[in-house]
């Protein structure tokens, strides 16, 4: 497993990040442990979670994924200094008026709750899950700065920010001498490029933010399980169906061809290699629900596309060409 620097920080993170949204949702705690162990043994040292995972599941109060991650480290004696823990704050975690958002009151309450669930005394990367239009950015950043000074948080990052809000945050940090966002977690993959590439990519490059894309396999669409002549009925009720288009079917065929030519035999690995071949990308977040899925994803570690392969996939998935 290779390691990459997280933006301008000194953190060295594995080139694949293990996401935990599935833990407590599509994978039980008992099913999660083998996945976590196998990932760690393979060299993954970067784990991403959030306080709201997975509050949308009936009977799940939120914080379950964080708890599973904390329990795993304790149960299997994982040295804390050997892992990079990233979690998030913003979503609703209760019924009170201050149980969500990026106010000082909510952040202070949320970080202590996350620390308890993770069973640790510091968070490596504390990320604002999405922006809060009801709270001044200066209040949020000054609170996060206090957490850095207190030692509860090492670095801060953000997720799901449009470019203008990210630039506003960077300007406030610089002008007010506050901690700044050192990473961005965008929705970015071969069939969802425009949101990141229009403006955010240039911001991240210019200001040296680490880029940690989520949904690198587009909800399973880029794994090859869906094809023009084979689309499981259940898929039409899920998120993958929005990618069903002639240009994307052609993209899948091209990915399949590249994978076979290189002897990888996995379209998932081609999709991950496309991200890893971009020097701007730090660590795509994978979310395997089983050991088989994990082993397939791990096969992308160290893989890079040849220049002509990268250019070909860029062309097949060019949002400027297809207006997507």
Token representation of residue 235: 């898929």
Cβ contacts of 225 within 8 Å, gap of 6 or more: 232, 235
Asked whether 275 and 309 are in contact (CB, 8 A), the reply is: no
CA distance 105 to 87: 18
From its phi and psi, is residue 240 left (phi > 0), alpha (psi between -120 and 50) or beta? alpha
Token representation of residue 40: 């760690």
Nearest Cα to Cα of residue 160 among 218, 112, 200, 121? 200
Q: Which letter, b or e, does each residue of 308-319 get, where b requires 16 or more Cβ atoms within 10 Å of its Cβ?
A: ebbebbeebbee
**Known active-site residue 181:** no
**Helix (H, G, I), strand (E, B), or coil: what is residue 295?**
helix
Place of tokens 């069903």: 244
Token representation of residue 172: 């406030």
Place of tokens 């610089």: 174
Q: Which of 3, 33, 53, 226 is catalytic?
A: 53
**Helix (H, G, I), strand (E, B), or coil: what is residue 47?**
strand
Q: What are the φ/ψ torsions at residue 124 (nearest 5 degrees)?
A: -70, -45
List, by residue number, the catalytic residues: 53
């Amino acid at each position: 497993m290779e390691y990459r620097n997280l933006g301008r920080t000194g953190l060295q993170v594995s080139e694949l990040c293990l996401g935990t949204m599935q833990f407590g949702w599509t994978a039980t705690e008992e099913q999660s442990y083998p996945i976590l162990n196998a990932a760690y043994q393979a060299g993954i040292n970067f784990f991403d979670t959030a306080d709201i995972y997975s509050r949308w599941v009936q009977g799940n109060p939120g914080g379950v994924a964080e708890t599973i991650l904390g329990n795993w480290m304790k149960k299997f004696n994982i040295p804390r200094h050997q892992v990079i823990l990233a979690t998030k704050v913003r979503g609703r975690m209760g019924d009170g008026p201050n149980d969500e958002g990026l106010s000082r009151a909510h952040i202070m309450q949320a970080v202590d709750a996350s620390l308890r669930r993770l069973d640790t005394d510091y968070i490596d990367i504390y990320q604002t899950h999405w922006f809060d239009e009801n709270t001044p950015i200066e209040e949020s950043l000054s609170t996060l700065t206090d957490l850095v000074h207190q030692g509860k948080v090492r670095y801060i990052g953000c997720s799901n920010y449009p470019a203008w809000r990210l630039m506003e945050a960077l300007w406030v940090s610089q002008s007010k001498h506050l901690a700044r966002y050192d990473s961005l977690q965008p929705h970015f993959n071969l069939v969802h490029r425009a949101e990141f590439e229009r403006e955010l990519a240039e911001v991240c490059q210019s200001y040296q933010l680490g880029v940690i894309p989520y949904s690198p396999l587009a909800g399973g669409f880029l794994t090859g399980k869906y094809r023009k002549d084979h689309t499981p009925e259940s898929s039409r009720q899920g998120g993958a169906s929005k990618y069903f288009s002639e240009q994307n079917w052609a993209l899948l065929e091209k990915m399949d061809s590249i994978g076979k030519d290189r002897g990888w035999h996995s379209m998932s690995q081609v999709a991950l290699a496309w991200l890893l071949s971009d020097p701007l990308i730090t660590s795509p977040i994978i979310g395997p629900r089983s050991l088989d899925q994990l082993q397939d994803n791990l096969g992308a570690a160290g893989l890079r596309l040849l220049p002509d392969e990268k250019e070909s996939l860029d062309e097949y998935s060019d949002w400027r060409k297809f207006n997507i």
